[in-house]
Amino acid sequence: MLTTDKPIYVIKANGQKEIFNEEKLRSSLLRSGATDEAVEDVISHIEPEIHEGMTTSDIYKHAFNALHKWKQPVAMRYSLRRAVMELGPTGFPFEKFIAEYFKDKGYEVLTDQEVYGACVPHEVDVVAWNDQKLIMAEAKFHNELGIKSDLKVVLYVKARFDDLKESSFNFGGKERKLTEGWLITNTKFSSTAIHYGACQKLTMIGWNYPEHGNLQDMIESSPRLLEILKIKEI
């Protein structure tokens, strides 16, 4: 525990101030796969360094560095997730980050496209195509770990893709139909969102969903994404 009774205000990724919450840091470390012993060691290591006006980004960087001595895979996962958070609205936009993944896999890609469905126009974050597929992806970025994409988000995205599947599009010099609609987030989905998405066969990718092919797996399989995040390839 912090030795002072006076609250310490730190700066969140969006620039807002909040009181430093040791339990939020502890929960985040535990979710990354660290053991209880490692978590307590990390917290005791970084507590003396926490000061008024410190950014949450710096706090988590200190936590990652302290975690290195315990278990490298845990530290790598923690580092990846925090690095993605730091893309932020003012950094490398999340939709461009996702576009780089598709480029790495041999797709031609455009971002921020206005396309017309059967009923209304839609702003699509990422459009990727090759000879076999036309994929449109909605990229949902959150700069706090606890925020989840819920059922309401999934319902909205599914309705958009249903409208778009009724149209044809000219990408790559030929008319083609939408083959896949993706919803990608850097955090997690609620359980009801996962249940609905699976039932409707919507491709949903979050930090730890699905079990294989989730966002962490995508990053670790892409040298380009690791380069953007300035993390050494695993």
Pairing relationship of beta strands 188-189 and 148-149 according to DSSP bridges: parallel
CA atoms within 13 A on the CB side of 207: 25
Task: Report pLDDT digits (tens) over 202-217.
Answer: 999 998 899 899 998 8
The pLDDT of residue 232 is 44
* Lowest pLDDT segment from 45-59, 94-108, 220-234: 220-234
- Calculate the alpha carbon distances from 33 to 6, 90, 102 in Å: 31, 29, 28
Across the chain, mean pLDDT equals 86
- Average pLDDT (123-148) is 92
Can you give the pTM of this predicted structure? 0.69
d(CA 86, CA 80): 10
* Secondary structure element (H or E) that encloses residue 37, with its range: helix 36-46
CA atoms within 13 A on the CB side of 202: 29
- Average pLDDT (33-58) is 83
Token digits of residue 14: 């969006």
